[in-house]
DNA sequence: GTCTATAGTGCGATAGAC
DNA sequence: GTCTATCGCACTATAGAC
């Protein structure tokens, strides 16, 4: 699978995402005409990500957002009742989306090597398609209320759990080495996140998304298959 | 080397660090009595990291800082001329410190495997000793002005350059596989950063600093030595 | 060297016209 | 459904007493 193939398979245009967003927040959005609501959500979303990823969500004022989106301050409050709710809305939609796309990316693939490869590629490609969104979710998660912050952590652990279960499956099949699968999954997750957190670095080096995905797959498989060489046999599997 | 040994070797107490901080900002700090200045810088630093790492630097008001540090708003402004300068002061001190400790951690070690191991361990241990500081630097770098933001990026590239040069050295010696050393260094860096960015995760799983450092070393060496298995020969070395 | 008090600015949110 | 105008509040930074 390449990024181009992934993009064709998944419909992740701003319109698609905002329709999903509207679906999940019907009760709190005052505008009832579907078409208008989706169009304005697109404006709000694009503006929020653009301004926040540059200066931070806290530092983005409602006046900034009004200017960047083209909607008045009054109109903005038809789509959320407070700045905090806007943040939660974006985070919740991202979590649902990630979960769905990741599940679809690995379903029906049983061979551990192929399944781990698919999980990694799907995650890198998804975060490429929604780079601004992923960056935003990562950097602004700490500004959520306690309740929503907990959901963000659970979401991180979910993704990691997907990886760790694939490793367990490979170990049960005797294909992967008996290394600590939770730590291995955490390390793969860290590598996946670097792609959307350090864009400036990879852009400057002209590393593209397919090459990046290849490299992470290679590194993860190398480790899982060999177990880190001679001295891995003593590792705890938990 | 273990974390306990590292801690004994490096003097990284709040007092040491704040003395270094005072050294670098003599001209802008109005309080002239060394003892008083260091004591208050300690209070300011501890309070800034505590409050900022919980709610973000932008969201921390000067009133918050005054309350948490025990100094009045007026007194705070004897140590920096604006909130932005406080941020820059912390970042600059952290950069200097990281560079110095990392250099000292690998000097005199020539064998590539031992040198890569030392670099990784030193970084993990340093970020353990100054966890709050590293977390702060990472999360708040984007709120710096353009000039200082550039320095933060250079600092990230410096650390990565250290890793990448060790890999090059190992490749020249025929010990490491001919993989893309810049990407490999970036992946190791990502793993190093996870330790101080996701404390909650590792604490919850009772993974300690020595075990974490071991694991990263194992994963990095496994990959550098084997080059990712059969299909690594075609990789570009740049 | 440290304090309290406050000036001046810009914030999030809303009321009410259209 | 969208706008403009504005309220009340909290912010950063400073002035001047001690």
Q: Across chain A, what does the average pLDDT equal? A: 94
d(CA B36, CA B4): 31
Euclidean distance between CA atoms B60 and B76, whole angstroms: 14
A191:B190 CB<8 A: yes
Cα angle B159, B165, B167; round to 5: 110
**Contact (CB<8Å) B59/A184:** no
Task: Give, for A9, the enclosing helix (H) or strand (E).
Answer: helix A3-9
A108 CB contact with strand C at below 7 Å: no
Work out the minimum CA distance from A59 to partner chain B, whole angstroms: 7
Q: Is strand D less than 7 A from the beta carbon of B81? A: yes
| Chain B residue whose CA is closest to A182 | B205
Residue of chain B nearest A205, judged by CA positions: B182
- Sites in chain A below the pLDDT cut of 50: 230-238
Three-state SS for A68? helix
Question: Which residues in B lie closer than 8 A to residue A216 (C-beta atoms)?
Answer: 187
**Closest nucleotide to the alpha carbon of A69, via C1':** D2
Tell me which residues of chain B have a pLDDT lower than 70: 228-238
Tell me the nearest-neighbour CA distance from B2 into chain A, angstroms: 18
- What's residue B229's pLDDT? 58
User: Which bases on strand D have an atom closer than 7 Å to a protein beta carbon?
Assistant: 1-6, 10-16
Q: What is the value of pTM for the model shown? A: 0.95
**Residue B238's pLDDT is what?**
42
- Kindly determine whether residue B59 and residue A58, on different chains, have CB atoms separated by under 8 Å: yes
Concatenated DSSP letters of A19-59:
HHHHHHTGGG-----HHHHHHHHHHHHHHHHHHHHHH-TTT
User: Does residue A151 approach strand C to less than 7 Å at its CB?
Assistant: no
Q: How many Å apart are CA B235 and CA B95, to the nearest integer?
A: 33
Domains and CATH numbers, chain B: 3-232 (1.10.357.10)
Residue B114 approaches strand D within 7 Å at CB: no
Q: For residue A216, give the nearest of B147, B59, B191, B204 by alpha carbon.
A: B191
CB A120 within 8 A of CB A217: yes
Q: Please give the pLDDT value at position A59.
A: 97
In B 23-52, which Cβ lie closer than 7 Å to strand C?
Answer: 30-33, 36-37, 40
Report the C-alpha gap between B141 and B150 in whole angstroms: 10
Tens-digit pLDDT profile for residues B9-65: 999 999 999 999 999 999 889 999 999 999 999 999 999 999 999 999 999 999 999
Closest nucleotide (C1' vs CA) to A86 is C12
* Contact yes or no for B76/B65 (Cβ under 8 A): yes
The predicted structure's pLDDT at residue A229? 58
Orientation of helix A181-197 relative to helix A146-172, angle to 10° = 120
* Residue B69 to residue A149: CA distance in whole angstroms: 27
Say if CB A38 and CB A15 are below 8 A apart. Answer: yes
Contact A149, A141 (CB under 8 A): yes
Paired tokens of A212: 């990046």
Q: How far is the CA of B80 from the C1' of C5 (A)?
A: 21
User: What single-letter DSSP state applies at residue A79?
Assistant: T
Residue A101 and residue A161 in contact, taking contact as beta carbons nearer than 8 Å: no
Residue B106: name the closest of B40, B169, B54, B57 by CA. B169
């Amino acid at each position: 699978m390449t990024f181009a193939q992934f993009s064709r398979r998944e419909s992740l245009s701003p319109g698609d995402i905002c329709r999903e967003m509207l679906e999940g927040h019907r009760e709190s959005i005052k505008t009832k005409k579907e078409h208008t609501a989706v169009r304005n959500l697109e404006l709000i979303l694009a503006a929020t990500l653009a301004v926040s990823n540059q200066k931070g969500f806290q530092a983005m004022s409602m006046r900034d957002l009004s200017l960047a989106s083209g909607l008045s301050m009054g109109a903005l409050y038809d789509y959320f009742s407070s700045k905090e709710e806007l943040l939660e809305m974006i985070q919740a939609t991202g979590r649902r989306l990630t979960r769905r796309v990741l599940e679809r990316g690995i379903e029906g693939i049983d061979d551990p090597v192929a399944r781990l490869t698919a999980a990694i590629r799907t995650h890198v490609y998804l975060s490429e398609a929604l780079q601004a969104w992923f960056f935003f979710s990562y950097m602004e998660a700490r500004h959520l209320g306690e309740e929503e912050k907990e959901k963000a952590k659970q979401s991180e652990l979910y993704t990691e759990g997907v990886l760790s279960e694939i490793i367990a499956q490979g170990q049960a099949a005797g294909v992967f080495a008996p290394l600590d699968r939770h730590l291995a999954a955490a390390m793969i997750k860290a590598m996946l996140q670097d792609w959307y957190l350090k864009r400036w670095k990879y852009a400057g080096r002209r590393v593209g998304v397919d090459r990046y995905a290849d490299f992470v797959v290679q590194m993860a498989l190398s480790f899982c298959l060999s177990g880190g060489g001679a001295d891995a046999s003593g590792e705890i599997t938990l």
